[in-house]
A = this chain, B = another copy of it.
Amino acid sequence: MRLVVPVSGSDPKTRLSSVLRPDERREFTEAMLADVLDALETAGHSPRVVATAPVACDAPVTVDDRGLDSLVNDLLAETDGELAVVMADLPLLTADAVARLFAPDADVVLAPGLGGGTNAFVSRHPDFRVDYHGASIRDHRRVARDVGAAVAEVDSRLLATDVDEPGDLAEVLLHSDGAAADWLRDAGFELAVDEGRVTVDRP
């Protein structure tokens, strides 16, 4: 089964603009991608990266400026629906979590992200298609049901934790010692602990 990791190479992670400069956002994006590729490869997969602009990583990269929906739906059509897609901004990902994504014997396996996204899927159904806008996990459940696919969802915090906003950076520092966590620490980020949820500071 083909396994694709889409990533924005041009102006990634704009919602981190309040804490990271453009060049830093690109570096941090590549660090998260390295963590994702490492988890996938450790789990025995051979991922390919599809990026909107060149990115540095240890996997084959295709530069393709199609939007995410067009890209993934074209790939689903090309592969007769035998496709796995894992997002590039999941720096907590481990080989065990990857194995759990591929384990269910279902036509479509969905990994919900926090806030309604779909952070990864495995499709084994010819008619499954994606729509990443809005609360995509709801749309993907509906699409899978409408085409008659048996659906499973994987209950994984590590797959659910995509990093989009400054508040998400705490999860990386709390739970990872991978490339993205190293990058944050080198850039001066540290955990800020008071009442309520832990956040980050960059003193």
Contacts and interface: CB of A to CB of B under 8 A. Distances in A.
Interface stretch (A28-36, A74-82, A131-139): A131-139
Given A164-B197, A193-B135, A155 B97 contact: yes
A116 B170 contact: yes
Nearest to A167: B115
A38 interface: no
Interface residues of A, number: 33
Contact of A191 (B135, B175, B193): B135
Contacts of A116: 170, 174, 191, 193, 197-198
B114 A171 contact: yes
Contact of A170 (B115, B158, B164, B191): B115
Interface in A17-72: none
A157 interface: yes
A91 interface: no
A157 B196 CA distance: 19
Interface string A142-178: 0000000000000111111100110000110011000
Contact of A193 (B96, B134, B156): B134
A157 B193 contact: no
A185 to B, nearest CB: 15
A87 to B, nearest CB: 14
A94 B15 CA distance: 32
Contacts of A198: 115-116, 134-135
Given A114-B114, A155-B156, A157-B112, A135 B196 contact: no
B15 A196 contact: yes
B135 A174 contact: yes
Nearest to A111: B157
Given A115-B197, A137-B174, 5 more contacts: A114-B114, A114-B197, A116-B193, A135-B191, A164-B197
